[in-house]
């Protein structure tokens, strides 16, 4: 399992800001009860970067509102490059997908956790599709 946090790099393009392995119960690295903060708006804020694009997806989540979704994507499906006015916490629970950014891509499998902060990105699923749990938190961009 891994955590992938994406945002804008110094050049303003969407990129991977952080990528690290997560503790897995039973691998000998954790106690009987262990909690790891993966990412926090307390540390990183809720302000989104200003991103210029014609493809802004509106999921009807107002600023400071949260929505939790179970999302099933068909096999060999592609979202197209887009952004949202949300901070997204995604957990892959089945299948596979590739998260494409402006400067590269990340292959994702079950157990992987992703934080997307309103930057340009695209989802491309594998032949078996992908199922993920998604929490959307409405945020502001200053646009």
pLDDT digits (tens, 9 = 90+) for 21-32: 987 666 666 566
pLDDT at 112: 98
pTM above 0.85, yes or no: yes
* Whether pLDDT at 78 is above 90: yes
The model's confidence at residue 55, banded by pLDDT at 50, 70 and 90, is confident
The model's confidence at residue 60, banded by pLDDT at 50, 70 and 90, is confident
The mean pLDDT of 63-72, rounded to a whole number, is 94
- Helix-strand-coil split of the chain, %, nearest 5: 5, 55, 45
CA distance 49 to 143: 9
Average pLDDT value over all residues in the chain: 90
* Whether pLDDT at 143 is above 60: no
* Whether pLDDT at 131 is above 60: yes
CA distance 117 to 121: 10
* Whether pLDDT at 33 is above 90: no
| Domain boundaries 2-22+47-138, corresponding CATH code | 2.60.120.10
The mean pLDDT of 71-97, rounded to a whole number, is 97
Residue 50 per-residue DSSP state? P
Q: Which residues of 77-91 are buried (b: 16+ CB within 10 A; e: fewer)?
A: eebeebbbbbbbbbb
């Amino acid at each position: 399992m891994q955590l992938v946090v994406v945002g804008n790099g110094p050049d303003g393009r969407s990129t991977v800001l952080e990528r690290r392995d997560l503790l897995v119960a039973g691998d000998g690295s954790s106690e009987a009860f262990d909690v790891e903060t993966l990412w926090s708006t307390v540390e990183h804020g809720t302000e989104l970067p200003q991103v210029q694009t014609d493809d802004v997806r509106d999921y009807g989540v107002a600023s400071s509102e949260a929505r939790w979704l179970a999302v099933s994507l068909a096999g060999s499906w592609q979202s197209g490059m887009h952004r949202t006015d949300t901070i997204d916490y995604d957990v892959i629970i089945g299948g596979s997908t590739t998260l494409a950014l402006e400067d590269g891509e990340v292959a994702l499998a079950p157990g992987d956790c992703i934080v997307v902060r309103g930057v340009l990105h695209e989802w491309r699923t594998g032949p078996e599709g992908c199922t993920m749990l998604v929490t959307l938190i409405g945020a502001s961009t200053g646009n």
